[in-house]
Amino acid sequence: MKRIVMFFALIASAIPAVCQVKAPVEVVDSGVAAVKDLGKQLVLGKFVVTYERMNPLWRKRLAKKMGGEEILKAHCESVGEQLAKSAMTLISHTTEGFPTIYEVSPGKKTELVDNKKVETLIYTKWLMVVPTVARYRIIGQDGKHIIESHGFQVAVSDKDKIDWTFIDGGTVTVADLRNMFSSVPVNMKLPEMTNKRVEP
């Protein structure tokens, strides 16, 4: 059961190493809205969305570990069946609190300065750690119970084309993120993953 719940809770030296930033309001709103929409799809039982909207870099890494893209996709699709076998139902999944925002993926931008082309080092992607809360209904021999799971989604998008992809907090570590996005700071803190029983 814990494994299923945790599934959700599915650089250049010239650039400063600490890249936590404040993003424009529209970017933050877009990222949070995308995570909320992901949660709505999960509640509807469309678990394949965790594969379809998974960050490509992370999907490649997971697929390699699991033995291929088809196996990973089948695993994502089977989550609903796994929940049912455990007498569990996902009844809500949304965001909570405020995301932590980073700029990642160093790149270059060419600008005209005094009629001369000047290259500037920039970050090309937004990375947002968005806290989430999900609730599961469990039917056991002693009746119905509600499990509240606090976790997070890592939402990633190119800056020039806001189109969010996701890394589920139950599957990733800071070391994983630093391996994919070298500009993620060493002291990056991820939200704590917790599960607790609450009153129906």
pLDDT at 113 over 90: no
pTM: 0.84
Evaluate if residue 129 carries a pLDDT over 50. Answer: yes
Instruction: Encode pLDDT of 55-111 as tens digits.
Output: 999 999 999 999 999 999 999 999 999 999 999 999 999 999 999 999 999 888 777
What is the sign, positive or negative, of the torsion defined by CA atoms of 195, 131, 96, 88? Answer: negative
Task: Give residue 200's pLDDT band: very low, low, confident or very high (50, 70, 90).
Answer: low
For residue 72, count CB atoms less than 10 angstroms from its CB and return exposed for 0-12, middle for 13-18, buried for 19 or more. buried
Q: What is the DSSP secondary structure assignment for residue 185, as one 8-state letter?
A: -
- The predicted pLDDT at position 1 comes to 54
Chain segment 135-147, per-residue pLDDT in tens:
999 988 888 999 9
Length of the chain: 200
Question: What is the separation of C-alpha 97 from the centre of its chain, rounded to a whole number of angstroms?
Answer: 15
Quick one: pLDDT at residue 109?
75
CA distance linking residue 36 with residue 161, whole number of Å: 19
The angle formed by the CA atoms of residues 70, 72 and 77, to the nearest 5 degrees, is: 90
Mean pLDDT to the nearest integer, 170-175: 94
Gap between the Cα atoms of 140 and 152, Å rounded: 27
Q: Contact at 8 Å (CB) between 106 and 124? A: yes
CA distance 99 to 156: 12
Residue 91 pLDDT: 96
Kindly report, residue by residue over 12-38, the tens digit of the pLDDT. 333 344 456 788 899 999 999 999 999
**Which residue's structure tokens are 């995308």?**
34
